[in-house]
Structure 1
Amino acid sequence: MGQLEHISEIADGRLLRLDLGASHPYLATHPDDVQQVLRRESENFIRDGVFWRPLRELMGDSILAEGAEWEHSKRVLQPVFTTRNVNTLTDLMAEAINDAVDKLDEPARAGTPIDVLPEMCRIVNETVIKVLFGDKISRSEADLLIPTFDQIATKIAFRFLLPFVPRAIPMPGDRAFRDAVQVMDDTLFALVERYRNDPGPGQDIFTALCHARTAEGSGLDDRWVRDNLLAMFSTSTETTTLALTWLWPLLHDHPEVAERLQTEIQGVVGTERVRASHLDHLPYVKQVVQELLRLYPVGWMFPRMATEPTDMRGVRIRPGDTVLISPYLTHRLKSVWDEPARFDPDRFLPERARHYHRYAYFPFGGGPHQCIGRHIFNVEAQLILTSILSRFRPRLSEAVPAEPQIGATLRPRKPIEMTLIPHRRSA
């Protein structure tokens, strides 16, 4: 059993006080407590405190901030993620995904194994750059941004897990992190400079930010655009990439799920290229993605700091106290889920899912700060999964335990390789 599963066993829905040396946060895993923090008392539990320091330093006054800064960024970006605009983007997204998956044909025909995480990263990034960033990022810039962000995501791990260690004390990864942020800044600021005054008429993230920046009396600067570009780039790529990376070991270990998934996709998609309209006829694909995010929610921990005194399970929470809530732990509580470690997409059959506590399952957070891109993620993940399985039957090179490495996000401890066996001629 891994570290996180051990913590889940100990917590089992109780409120715990953790001893992290210089910090003593509370850990709340019961759905009622999660609802109190994220919804009922969301104004009291804010995204601030020592655990937010690394992200705040990286992404500044973006949509991942708090208060007026967060409200302003959300107001600017919300139109990009309305149901109407998401529906408009889905056909474009399907086209971009099909084009990205086309590049898997060559290793598949050659029988060459692919390294799963980088390939999922490539597919997701090519899609996001084309759809959410209006295709304004060139191929050469993408080739810089994609590995650079991956370096930022991995090298921030020590600072994220030990945020109370002063900056004056060097930690592993600090230099590589600073170098990566510099490359990211050079690239993003150059993009802002190029498009700031003429971003075009599109309904994408980049265009929305540039229009807000140049609006009369906005008071916004290039740094604000950069902060939100980085925040949205990270949240729209890292989540989907890692979720899809975890999928293949789970399907390897559960061949009955893989077979049912293949059967549904072949029956609906056949030899066609995947379209957004296919998704309405693929309920099991949706259930698989939901169960995937139950077991491996990428945003595995949400810290919140109390600003006013309150009570939680009879314990007095004081101003300045940090409460940690974790989708990963709550999603695996034995008191909430039947056989929580088992991969069972039928948990999300509509007649079963409606009976769960609203905050028993919260991979995208909840309350006012719930991820505004959650609908985009669900559509993107379902389309990528469907596009790959409509063309190939994946085979892992070796069985890899789906064991996460704790960091800013949950990444596999070991590389995952698989061979893609074509079971039809790609259209």
Structure 2
Amino acid sequence: MPMHTDSRLHTVSLRTVLGRLRDGGPLGLMERTGQQAQGALVRLDLGAFRPFLVTHPDHLRHVLRDRGANYRRGAMMWKPMSRLLGLGIAGEGPRWQASRDLWCKGLSGRSAQAAGDTTAPSVADAVADLEQRVAGGATVDAVAEMTRIVLRIVNPVFFGSRIPQPQCDRLAAAVTVAFDSLLWRMALPFVPLAVPMPGDRAFRRATCTVDEILLPLIRRARRTPRSGPDLMSLLLDGRGPAGRPLDDEHIAQDIVALFVAGSESSALTLTWLWVALQEHPGIVAELRREADQVLGGGPPRRAHVRELVLTRRVLAEVCRLYTMAWAVPRTAAADDVIDGVDVPAGATLVLSPYLTHRLPEFWEQPLRFDPGRFAEERVRGRHPLAYLPFGDGPHQCVGQSFFLQEAVLVVATMLSRFHFAVPGRAVPRAAVALRPRDRVDLVLTPRRQA
């Protein structure tokens, strides 16, 4: 395919940036700018910091595939995140490669099959627990309940159930606080760490909690025999780039990264799914028929994932409209040219799948919720980088299949057990991931009582 022919560079002045931030926050800035640029490269004037905004699939292919080696994670915006996630799976180079190889091993082949065999009964148990707690019907916090369910799925897969579930919940809460507290540091990466910023105190408290839970757990696990296919065992038995065992800090940081990618993002996506479906009762009815037919009133099984075709398409459409990684930074290692625009060495590029998924050139009526976009014949005719909720290139998320498996089974099992409603309106806000601005109420009524 030819490169995008409109080679104009849109520049957004500091005054305009500040106005859009004031009116709609970071997400409002991105949406207004994306609507104006319609896929063209954008230069955002933030004073001393002037990143490029990249949204067109042709430009993304250039950055992530064709010239991927030139665009590295070593961006200023990644540095604050490295304080939490380290330089293993969240970094670059040999340490990243060692971590990624271990993750791929743990989420593929026999390990993936073992994880799948664990996931289905975990989903059944988690939903049964929820059904018992809301036996008379109840309004619950959607994010909290989806997180509770997801953590009961990931605990055996990540930890081999070494960690008691209350501790797992506490760890996840601390990771979420730490991750969200980095937003200002990522938005203003040129501010020295010595200068206090919003979120710093919360970050320090949360990371202390993470260390208090994880480091003793890792030390105990080193002293006990390991036989399971869980990801923590793989990290404990793994080797770094020099052939030495991974140290406790490396393992702890990779586990935190696992939590961010495997639990928080999954729980938030499931929350947005209920929000989206609230406006589409016809789709809900079709999903419920599919769940009843495939599950047959029984517990979910790993083999059901392939049969839940509409459920998979609905999840794909939710991932399109509510992309967790709404902004992904890269740094140009050397001078380059993208679609006729000079990109100097050291420049920061902000890739935005959230905006790519809203380009009318590739998505007819892009704000409309339409799972039919992911029918096979429509997917085949689409630009390969028009849809990238899990990224692309060497750093593409290795947990994509695991997420799909757990999320599909959660949705089908919940719809087979509950009627639901989401009163009110949920508005997204741009934290590090795409979160609801306020609590999302989820009204659940067990179907046997409806």
Superposed pair shares fold, TM > 0.5:
yes
2:265 maps to which of 228, 236, 239: 239
Contact 1:28–1:34, Cα closer than 8 Å, also in 2: yes
1:364 maps to which of 376, 390, 410: 390
Contact 2:172–2:259, Cα closer than 8 Å, also in 1: no
Amino acid paired to 1:20: L
Greater alpha carbon shift after TM alignment, 289-298 vs 6-15: 6-15
Tell me the CA shift for residue 22 of structure 1: 2.9
2:412 matches 1:412: no
Following the alignment from structure 2 to structure 1, what is the Cα–Cα distance between the partners of residues 242 and 393?
32
1:163 counterpart residue number: 189
TM, length-normalised to structure 2? 0.90
Following the alignment from structure 1 to structure 2, what is the Cα–Cα distance between the partners of residues 23 and 355?
38
Deviation readout 1:179-236 (Å, 9 max, x if unpaired): 0001101111111110124351111110001012599951532111111111112111
Q: Give the direction of change, closer, same or farther, for the CA distance of 1:7–1:270 in structure 2 (3 Å limit).
A: farther
Contact 1:196–1:213, Cα closer than 8 Å, also in 2: no
Greater alpha carbon shift after TM alignment, 155-164 vs 123-132: 155-164
| SS in structure 2 at match of 1:405 | strand
Contact 1:301–1:327, Cα closer than 8 Å, also in 2: yes
Contact 1:188–1:226, Cα closer than 8 Å, also in 2: yes
Following the alignment from structure 2 to structure 1, what is the Cα–Cα distance between the partners of residues 240 and 188?
38
2:111 maps to which of 61, 85, 102: 85
Tell me the CA shift for residue 152 of structure 1: 1.4
Following the alignment from structure 1 to structure 2, what is the Cα–Cα distance between the partners of residues 98 and 138?
19
Deviation readout 1:129-183 (Å, 9 max, x if unpaired): 1222211112342142122122113222222222222212212221111000011
Following the alignment from structure 1 to structure 2, what is the Cα–Cα distance between the partners of residues 216 and 195?
23
Deviation readout 1:88-123 (Å, 9 max, x if unpaired): 321210111111111211343222211100110111
| SS in structure 1 at match of 2:377 | helix
Q: Give the direction of change, closer, same or farther, for the CA distance of 1:388–1:163 in structure 2 (3 Å limit).
A: same
Amino acid paired to 1:106: Q
1:383 counterpart residue number: 409
Following the alignment from structure 2 to structure 1, what is the Cα–Cα distance between the partners of residues 148 and 166?
14
2:343 maps to which of 306, 317, 321: 317
| SS in structure 1 at match of 2:397 | coil
Greater alpha carbon shift after TM alignment, 175-184 vs 155-164: 155-164
Contact 2:136–2:445, Cα closer than 8 Å, also in 1: no
Tell me the CA shift for residue 357 of structure 1: 0.6
1:38 counterpart residue number: 64
Following the alignment from structure 1 to structure 2, what is the Cα–Cα distance between the partners of residues 317 and 214?
34
Following the alignment from structure 1 to structure 2, what is the Cα–Cα distance between the partners of residues 60 and 350?
39
2:214 matches 1:188: yes
Greater alpha carbon shift after TM alignment, 77-86 vs 243-252: 77-86
RMSD after superposition? 1.9
Counting matched residue pairs gives 424
Tell me the CA shift for residue 76 of structure 1: 2.2
2:386 matches 1:400: no
Q: Give the direction of change, closer, same or farther, for the CA distance of 1:21–1:199 in structure 2 (3 Å limit).
A: farther
Following the alignment from structure 2 to structure 1, what is the Cα–Cα distance between the partners of residues 339 and 300?
49
TM, length-normalised to structure 1? 0.95
Contact 2:138–2:445, Cα closer than 8 Å, also in 1: no
Following the alignment from structure 1 to structure 2, what is the Cα–Cα distance between the partners of residues 414 and 267?
35
2:180 matches 1:154: yes
2:126 maps to which of 100, 103, 108: 100
Contact 2:95–2:241, Cα closer than 8 Å, also in 1: no
Tell me the CA shift for residue 411 of structure 1: 0.2
Deviation readout 1:4-53 (Å, 9 max, x if unpaired): 43222022110000112331000111001111111111110010121101
Following the alignment from structure 1 to structure 2, what is the Cα–Cα distance between the partners of residues 407 and 418?
22
1:267 counterpart residue number: 293
Greater alpha carbon shift after TM alignment, 174-183 vs 5-14: 5-14
Amino acid paired to 1:400: R
| SS in structure 1 at match of 2:159 | coil
2:200 counterpart residue number: 174
Contact 2:265–2:324, Cα closer than 8 Å, also in 1: yes
| SS in structure 2 at match of 1:276 | coil
Contact 1:133–1:206, Cα closer than 8 Å, also in 2: yes
Following the alignment from structure 2 to structure 1, what is the Cα–Cα distance between the partners of residues 134 and 34?
40
| SS in structure 2 at match of 1:394 | strand
1:16 maps to which of 28, 32, 42: 42
2:365 counterpart residue number: 339
Deviation readout 1:232-275 (Å, 9 max, x if unpaired): 12111121011001111110111121111111111221311111
Structure 1 alignment gaps of length 5 or more: none
What is the percentage of aligned positions where both structures have the same residue?
38
1:204 counterpart residue number: 230
Contact 1:213–1:225, Cα closer than 8 Å, also in 2: no
Structure 2 alignment gaps of length 5 or more: 1-23
Amino acid paired to 1:374: Q
Contact 2:148–2:169, Cα closer than 8 Å, also in 1: no
Greater alpha carbon shift after TM alignment, 74-83 vs 114-123: 74-83
Following the alignment from structure 1 to structure 2, what is the Cα–Cα distance between the partners of residues 406 and 215?
35
Following the alignment from structure 2 to structure 1, what is the Cα–Cα distance between the partners of residues 385 and 371?
18
2:317 matches 1:291: yes
Following the alignment from structure 2 to structure 1, what is the Cα–Cα distance between the partners of residues 412 and 116?
14
